[in-house]
Structure 1
Amino acid sequence: MKKAAVIILFLLCSLTFTNLYADTPPGHIAISPPFFELSLGSKPINESIRMVNLKKEPIKVKVEVYNWTMDEKNEVKVIPGTSQSLEQWMLINPLSFTVEPAGTQIIRFSIRPRTKPDPGEHHAMIFLTEQLPDSLETKKNAIKVLFRYGMAVYADTDPVKKSSTLASLTCDKGASMLKAEISNTGNIRTRLKGNYTIWKAGTFPGFKAMTDYINKPKTEKKPDGLLDSGALNSAPVLAGQRRTVITPIGTRDNKAGNFVVAVKGMLDDKPVEKLFP
């Protein structure tokens, strides 16, 4: 029996899907790309993942692939595969490996459909899970933080249909959050992409000026009146789903309410602009 206490650190890359695309995620690894969006036809697809070990010790990793969906809380949920789910058509090599300190491992995968893909999205989640080192198998009172990184793979087959609706977009200043209710009646995922900014009351310069600021280097001075800014939560809403996507915003220090929140983004090809006084 293992004596070490183990803490598993879950990094569901696109997946809790709250913009966790860091160069060095917790667990001291670097993985690229963060996810895949591919076109799936009759020919095989070959891709690769690059993992770098930034720790000062070797890491043992296990690779698994599953079918998945997003539950009501916008969290990844593993579900049984079907004849049309992508993981049924994937071959991955290697399935386990050890990476030395400062070393790199390439994980290759191919997609070879066994049946004709239906139109629309097919997806899978590749999990890279760190295994307990042999040196800790018998140690007592040892604490080890392990990572589990989930990488989404999307493969789309023509004809693709994008059809989404922003049913509502609200701002709860007291709870410091934006809520976007999105309905997806298409056959591939949709995302609300964009940014929010928070301004002192009476200083919002308009959406064009907001866009100009967002596109500038972060090292430049903030415009007068700007309190905070950030990216919207771009969690995917899968085909056939209706979900509420929440973006935490930095209004906790502005309880007096003398500020406005501006949101600018895109849902598929539809622009979104809204100002909350």
Structure 2
Amino acid sequence: MSRTHRFRSIGWALALIGLMAGGAARAQIAISPQILDVSLDDPSHTYAFRLYNYTTEDKRVRVSLNNWTLDADNQVQVLPPTETSLDRWTIINPVEFDLPAGKSQAVRLAIRPAVPLAAGEHRVMTYFDEIPLADPTKEAPATLRARFRLGAAVYAHVGPVSRSGTINSVVADKHGFKLGVTATGNATTRFDGQYVIYPTRAFPGKGKVPAVENPDLPDMKLPPGAIAGGRIPATAVLPGTTRTVSGTYAGKPLSPGRYTVNLSGHFGDAPLDAQTEINVAAGSG
């Protein structure tokens, strides 16, 4: 990886921890980038997130930092600070601020370790929490007030970055697919790939499946003859861990018939080019 930082504004599940207010509010408060991937070889750099308020209400926001990892279910698990955890050595400005309706606010951060850090990946989670109104009488009566909480992950690297991995298993059925993987390098690794489903009679053959255009977007275009397709989830797999990356076919199981599922792309430096045939019997559960 270059010594200069890279911003990744992609919708990786880990990046956006979520809003306590639910689906409607999710689109009303946003953060960019959703993941920050940086090098610590030059500690003089500063970085920034920007928080957007698309609501019609002014907000008050507090920023905090946590050491973290992912558990076996790929859920964020907050860890206590250690001497070398980045939550101790990350400087945030501002820590607390007003976010007027329809406006945005930049939140800058710098990582200044005062102790030597081991080569490899270090992580810190940046949380953006709404602070309740000081005067509750200003809230509309009989309104359930839901506060937001957003989390943005920072991945910081010391020394060369290795995103290597192995693909241990590929399984698919009428509901979806499961890919067993191990991240063998020193940095978090994710899939960059696609799945495409054909009726078996229309499958063009190994190595002949075109790319899905605009995968998972409203204007997605499937290759000729395909009935479904999309991205393989870019689930974060932390270095040294083995996980199962699962995906569904746009949330819809396959109807009775015979299909070929093509999965292609890369998990780190490990190539993926697999085909699985599925025979869905009539009346199967």
TM-score by length of 1: 0.83
The Cα shift of 1:222 comes to 4.1
| 1:215-230 mapped onto 2 (5 Å cutoff) | 219=219, 222-230=222-230
Contact 2:172 2:276 in 1 (8 A): yes
Secondary structure in 2 aligned to 1:226?
coil
Secondary structure in 2 aligned to 1:247?
strand
Q: For residue 7 of structure 1, what is the aligned residue in structure 2?
A: none
Cα offsets for 1:187-227 (capped at 9, x unmatched): 22111221111222211224655334436997486444221
Contact 1:31 1:52 in 2 (8 A): yes
Cα offsets for 1:79-135 (capped at 9, x unmatched): 112222222210001112121111111101111011112110011110112233345
List gaps (5 residues or longer) in structure 2: 1-10, 19-23, 278-285
Contact 1:207 1:264 in 2 (8 A): no
Cα offsets for 1:162-197 (capped at 9, x unmatched): 442111121132xx2221111223222111221111
Change (3 A) 1:221 1:128: closer
Whose strand proportion is higher, 1 or 2?
Answer: 1
The Cα shift of 1:70 comes to 0.6
Secondary structure in 1 aligned to 2:202?
coil
Q: How many residues align?
A: 260
One-letter amino acid matched to 2:169: S
One-letter amino acid matched to 2:204: P
List gaps (5 residues or longer) in structure 1: 1-12
- Report the Cα distance in structure 2 between the residues aligned to 1:19 and 1:183, rounded to whole angstroms: 23
- Report the Cα distance in structure 2 between the residues aligned to 1:128 and 1:220, rounded to whole angstroms: 32
The Cα shift of 1:40 comes to 0.9
- Report the Cα distance in structure 2 between the residues aligned to 1:220 and 1:71, rounded to whole angstroms: 33
TM-score by length of 2: 0.81
1:98 and 2:98 matched: yes
Greater relative contact order: 1 or 2 (C-alpha under 8 angstroms, separation 6 or more)?
Answer: 1
Q: For residue 171 of structure 2, what is the aligned residue in structure 1?
A: 170
The percentage of counterpart residues that share the same residue type is 31
Contact 1:74 1:245 in 2 (8 A): no
C-alpha RMSD over aligned residues: 2.8
Change (3 A) 1:220 1:167: closer
The Cα shift of 1:264 comes to 0.8
Q: For residue 213 of structure 2, what is the aligned residue in structure 1?
A: 214
| 1:183-202 mapped onto 2 (5 Å cutoff) | 183-202=182-201
Change (3 A) 1:172 1:241: same
